Amino acid sequence: MIAIKEDSITEADGDIQALADERADAATASARGMDVLLLAFQIHGRLIALLAPECRPLGVTPNEALALMALARAPLPVSGIGRVVGIRPNGASVLVDRLDGRGFVRRTRSRRDNRVVSVELTEAGAALAATLVDKASGQLRSGLAQASVAEQQVLIEILQRLVRP
C-alpha cells in the first residue's frame, strides 16, 4: 500500500492552481494586448475619417495631412514620416515626392552625414499644416473634452510608449 500525505496533495493542488492562475493571467494579458491593437487601428481609422472631409477642399489626402502636421512639429527623415503616417518607406518616399512637387516640403541633406535626408516644410507647407492642425484640433478637442488634463497627459504618455521603436 502506498501512503500519500495530505500535505503533498494540498501542495500539488496549490501548484496546479498557481499554474492555472498563471495561464489565466497570460490569457488576460494577451486579450488586453489585442484590445489595445484593435483600438489603435480604430483610432487611426477615426482620425483618417475626421481628416478626410477637411483634406478634400485643401487638395491633400489624409496621409499627406498627417505628414504635414508631423512636419509642423519638426523636420523628419522620410522613414520618420513613414512611421508617423503608418506606411512603408517606399510609400513615404512617394508621398514626400508628391508634397515636394506641389511645393509643400523640401528635402535637405544633413551637414554631418550626406546620406541622411531630412524633410521640412516650405512656407506654403507650413501655412497648409497650420490650417490642418487647426481643423483637426477642433475635431479632437470635442472628443477629448470628456477627459481631464491629467487623463489626457496619461493617454499621451501611454501612446508614446506604444509607438516608440
Q: Domain of 99: which CATH number?
A: 1.10.10.10
**Domain range for 76:** 6-163
Identify the pLDDT of residue 114: 83
Domain count, the chain: 1
Identify the pLDDT of residue 50: 81
| 165 residues of the chain, pLDDT tens digit each | 555 555 555 665 666 666 666 666 666 767 878 888 888 888 878 888 888 888 899 999 999 999 999 999 999 999 999 998 989 989 999 999 999 999 999 999 888 888 888 999 999 999 999 999 888 887 778 778 888 889 889 888 888 887 776
Domain presence at residue 11: yes
Residue ranges of alpha helices (H) inside the chain are: 6-55, 62-73, 78-85, 89-101, 123-144, 149-163
Domain presence at residue 119: yes
Quote the radius of gyration of the chain (alpha carbons, Å).
25
Domain presence at residue 155: yes
Domain presence at residue 64: yes
Q: Are strands 105-109 and 76-77 parallel, antiparallel or unpaired?
A: unpaired
Domain presence at residue 141: yes
pTM: 0.71
89: which 3 cell numbers? 518607406
Domain presence at residue 1: no
